[in-house]
Structures are given as C-alpha cells and as structure tokens.
C-alpha cells in the first residue's frame, strides 16, 4: 500500500510540475505579446505622424502629443537608436513645418517666399522617402 501512495505522490508531483511549466511558458508568451503590442504602438505613432504631415502639408499637431508620448516609451522598449531615429524624424517635421509656416506667412511678392517653398517641397520629399524606411528600421526590433 505504501508503494501505491508513493507512486501516487510522484504522479501528483509530476502533474503539478507540468502545470507549473505550462504556466511559465504561457506567461512568457503573454509577456512577448504584450511587448510586441507596445512596440507596435510606437511604430504606428511614427507612421501616423509622418502620414499626418504629408496629408496636411504642415505641422501634424493632431498626432504630435501621441508621438511625443510614444517617443518617451520608445526609450524603454527599444534600443537607443530607435529613440534617436524618432527624434530625427521629429526634427525633420519641425523643419518642414517651420518652412511651410514661413512660406505661408511671407507675402507672395517677397523673393524669400520662393526659398521657403523650395525648402518645404524638399522637406515633403524627404518625408515621403522616409515613410517606407520606417518599417525597415523597426522590424528587426519587433521580433521578441
């Protein structure tokens, strides 16, 4: 009878160990999925900011607060290069918006206006070129 109880104890212990292992694996998967979701939100914020700037052809005020929030989050979720990349995109957007605003505020007869319009067009071109590159920058860091 003792052998039966001993065997039963071992079987129960193995069952508990198996359940613990399954719980551990499930928790790891959930952690990886949560990390992916948070990283994907940062990725989407970058795309939204560029998309909004291209659509408005001016400062994307509607998405800027969200972008800044995700920029701060990126410092914890990604390597430093991603936050630097996002800061660079924001600087490009600020320069673009500044030139767009200067062109809009400068009278049509002012010769400087042509320079501002040219800088605005160049900024728009750089943003259009940057949009497809965002995926290449983020994808290697999305795999967890």
Percent of the chain having pLDDT more than 90?
52
Q: CA dist 117 to 61, 98, 113, Å?
A: 20, 11, 6
CB count, 10 Å around CB of 39? Answer: 21
pLDDT in tens, 96-125: 888 888 888 888 888 888 888 888 889 889
Helices (H), the chain: 2-56, 61-77, 80-105, 112-142
The contacts of residue 47 (CB under 8 Å, 6+ apart) are: 131, 134
The answer to whether residues 99 and 61 touch, using CB atoms and an 8 Å cutoff, is no
How is residue 46 written in tokens? 């970058």
Determine the pLDDT at residue 59.
76
CA 94 and chain centroid, separation: 18
For the chain, domain boundaries: 32-142
Please state the pTM of the whole predicted model.
0.79
Low-confidence residues of the chain, pLDDT below 50? Answer: none
């Amino acid at each position: 009878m003792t052998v039966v109880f001993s065997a039963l104890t071992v079987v129960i212990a193995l069952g508990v160990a198996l359940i613990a292992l399954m719980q551990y694996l499930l928790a790891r998967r959930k952690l990886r999925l949560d990390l992916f979701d948070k990283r994907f939100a940062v990725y989407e914020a970058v795309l939204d900011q560029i998309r909004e700037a291209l659509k408005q052809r001016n400062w994307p005020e509607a998405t800027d607060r969200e972008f800044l929030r995700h920029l701060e989050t990126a410092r914890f979720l990604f390597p430093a290069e991603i936050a630097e990349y996002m800061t660079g995109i924001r600087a490009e957007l600020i320069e673009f918006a500044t030139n767009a605003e200067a062109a809009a505020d400068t009278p049509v007869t002012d010769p400087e206006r042509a320079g501002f319009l040219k800088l605005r067009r160049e900024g728009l071109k750089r943003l259009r070129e940057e949009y497809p590159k965002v995926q290449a920058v983020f994808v290697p860091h999305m795999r967890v």
